[in-house]
């Protein structure tokens, strides 16, 4: 086993694996209504091919985490068997899922039994009308999904909130209090100017420092060490409601490119070394006459990773649901 090291000396051991580019929500900051992220053109990877990729990256390069994402990964009909197959192929791998949780409640127990370790859930407002305006979805189904995950034995999920000026920035404190009550860590995300939502996200942008100040007025905040492979700046918070943890993901105001250990594979089999760089490599040549070719895989992956951008900084016109957030 060799380590996968990029041109800047960063070790790459995290994979974001998108299993579908379809989504059941229309989040304002991701894809405005009418924008369909569905793959047009090349056929999506099969689950078998996805498992082969993960097995290869784990065996050849010591991949440590795969995060299944999308689009909305719970729309992928064979998600549960896919998780089981990945677990079987790489028993020591950390397997995580990022989801909007709308469809989580009925599936949580089967995902846990299949070997899924952890969940990140997107939740941008605790007000049902506002949640619907921001995402087009129903808050109650998300809350049921969170309850279902806890009942299924998952550790408390991390909850991602994209903070947008004038739309939900007045909820950063209530969200932290809700997180404390439920022992859930809230992650405040800066909106990235990606794809068709780029303009809205620039206009509505709220920097992590501003959110931190709003929270510091209500909580005592103590910085925590950054977790392994984590891109979040984490704090312990203490206030009238009790104590808990929060994190900030600030790719715009405090880029974490120097700590980036990720690559992404889209649902249609393109490898993106950097979220903010439009360059990608096609994985299709890895399958020759239907069989996985480790030598070609090695070459495609190492060449793409060698070119991983040192600092993002580019313009990403591809919609987030296609990239795999
Ligand atoms: N559908 C799943 C979900 O909602 O969690 C997974 C895909 S979604 C693209 C992954 C994460 O990216 C979500 O937490 C979402 O809030 C975040 N996201 C999407 N577009 C973003 C943007 N432009 N800036 C910051 N975060 C974004």
Q: What is the 3-state secondary structure (H, E, C) of 137-178?
A: CCHHHHHHHHHHHHHCCCCCCEEEEECECCCCHHHHHHHHHH
Q: Does ligand 1 come within 6 angstroms of the Cβ of 320?
A: yes
Q: Is pLDDT larger for residue 95 or for residue 241?
A: 95
Which CATH topology does 14-323 take? TIM Barrel (3.20.20)
pLDDT at 93 over 70: yes
By alpha-carbon position, which residue is closest to atom 20 of ligand 1? 30
By alpha-carbon position, which residue is closest to atom 25 of ligand 1? 191
Determine contact, residues 215/176, Cβ cutoff 8 Å: yes
Q: What is the mean pLDDT of residues 54-73?
A: 97
Mutate to test the pocket of ligand 1, among 162, 185, 191, 251 (most ligand atoms within 8 A of CB): 162
DSSP string, 172-195: HHHHHHHHHHHT-EEEEEPPP--G
Q: Does ligand 1 come within 6 angstroms of the Cβ of 21?
A: no
pLDDT bracket for residue 100 (50, 70, 90): very high
Non-local CB neighbours of 255 within 8 Å, separated by 6+ positions: 311, 312
Q: Does ligand 1 come within 6 angstroms of the Cβ of 319?
A: no
The Cα–Cα gap between 201 and 190 comes to 9
DSSP string, 4-48: -B-TTS-B--EEEEEEES--S---TTT--TT------SSPPPPHH
Q: Is 150 exposed, middle or buried (0-12, 13-18, 19+ CB in 10 A)?
A: middle
pLDDT bracket for residue 314 (50, 70, 90): low
Distance 188 CA to ligand 1 centre (A): 12
The Cα–Cα gap between 291 and 303 comes to 21
By alpha-carbon position, which residue is closest to atom 23 of ligand 1? 192
By alpha-carbon position, which residue is closest to atom 14 of ligand 1? 122
Q: Is pLDDT larger for residue 1 or for residue 99?
A: 99
Q: What is the mean pLDDT of residues 116-129?
A: 98
Q: How far, rounded to the nearest angstrom, does the alpha carbon of residue 55 sit from its chain's CA centroid?
A: 20
Report percent pLDDT > 70 for the chain.
92
Q: Does ligand 1 come within 6 angstroms of the Cβ of 160?
A: yes
pLDDT bracket for residue 319 (50, 70, 90): low
DSSP 74: G
By alpha-carbon position, which residue is closest to atom 9 of ligand 1? 325
Q: What is the mean pLDDT of residues 73-90?
A: 98
pLDDT at 32 over 80: no
As a whole number, the mean pLDDT across the chain is 93
Condensed to tens digits (0 to 9), the pLDDT of residues 174-225 reads 999 999 999 999 999 999 988 888 899 999 999 999 999 999 999 999 999 8
Q: Does ligand 1 come within 6 angstroms of the Cβ of 72?
A: yes
Condensed to tens digits (0 to 9), the pLDDT of residues 258-310 reads 889 999 999 999 999 998 888 999 999 999 999 999 999 999 999 999 999 88
Q: What is the mean pLDDT of residues 21-35?
A: 82
Of 21-30, 86-95, 204-213, least confident by mean pLDDT is 21-30
pLDDT at 137 over 80: yes
Q: Is pLDDT larger for residue 303 or for residue 318?
A: 303
Non-local CB neighbours of 213 within 8 Å, separated by 6+ positions: none
State the angle between helix axes of 172-182 and 208-216 in degrees (0 to 180), rounded to the nearest 10: 70
pLDDT at 39 over 50: no
Both tokens of 9, joined, read 């000396």
Q: Does ligand 1 come within 6 angstroms of the Cβ of 250?
A: no
pTM, two decimal places: 0.95
- What pLDDT sits at residue 315? 65
DSSP string, 251-310: TTTS--GGG--EEEE-TTSEEES-TT----EE-GGGEETTEE-HHHHHHHHHHHHHT--S
Q: Does ligand 1 come within 6 angstroms of the Cβ of 75?
A: no
Report percent pLDDT > 90 for the chain.
82
Distance 319 CA to ligand 1 centre (A): 11
pLDDT at 228 over 70: no
- What pLDDT sits at residue 153? 98
Q: Does ligand 1 come within 6 angstroms of the Cβ of 70?
A: yes
DSSP string, 206-232: --HHHHHHHHHTTSEEEE-PPPTT---
> Per-domain residue ranges for the chain?
14-323
DSSP 116: -
- What pLDDT sits at residue 230? 75
Q: Does ligand 1 come within 6 angstroms of the Cβ of 85?
A: no
């Amino acid at each position: 086993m060799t380590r996968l090291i990029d041109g800047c000396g960063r070790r790459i051991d995290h994979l974001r694996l998108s299993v579908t580019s379809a989504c059941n929500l229309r989040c304002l900051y991701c894809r405005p209504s009418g924008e369909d992220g569905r793959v047009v053109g090349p056929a999506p990877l099969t689950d078998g091919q996805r498992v082969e990729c993960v097995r290869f990256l784990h065996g050849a390069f010591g991949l440590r985490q795969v995060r299944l994402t999308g689009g909305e990964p719970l729309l992928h009909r064979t998600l549960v068997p896919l998780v089981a197959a990945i677990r079987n192929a790489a028993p020591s791998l950390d397997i995580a899922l990022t989801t909007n949780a709308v469809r989580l409640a009925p599936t949580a127990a089967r995902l846990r039994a299949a070997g899924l370790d952890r969940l990140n859930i997107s939740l941008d407002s605790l007000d049902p009308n506002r949640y619907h305006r921001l995402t087009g979805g129903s808050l109650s189904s998300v809350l049921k999904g969170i309850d279902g995950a806890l009942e299924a034995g998952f550790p408390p999920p991390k909850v991602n909130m994209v903070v947008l000026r004038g739309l939900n920035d007045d909820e950063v404190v209530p969200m932290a209090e809700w997180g404390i009550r439920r022992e859930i860590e809230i992650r405040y995300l800066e909106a990235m100017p990606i794809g068709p939502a780029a303009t809205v996200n620039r206009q509505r942008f709220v920097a992590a420092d501003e959110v931190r100040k709003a929270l510091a007025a209500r909580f005592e905040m103590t910085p925590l060490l950054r977790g392994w492979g984590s891109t979040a700046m984490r704090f312990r918070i203490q206030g009238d409601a009790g104590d808990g943890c929060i994190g900030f993901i600030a790719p715009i105001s405090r880029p974490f490119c120097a700590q980036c250990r990720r690559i992404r594979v889209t649902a249609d089999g393109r490898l993106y070394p950097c979220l903010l760089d439009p360059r990608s490599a096609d994985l299709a040549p890895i399958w020759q006459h239907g069989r996985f070719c480790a030598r070609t895989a090695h070459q495609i992956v190492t060449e793409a990773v060698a070119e991983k951008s040192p600092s993002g900084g580019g313009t990403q016109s591809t919609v987030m649901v296609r990239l795999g957030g």
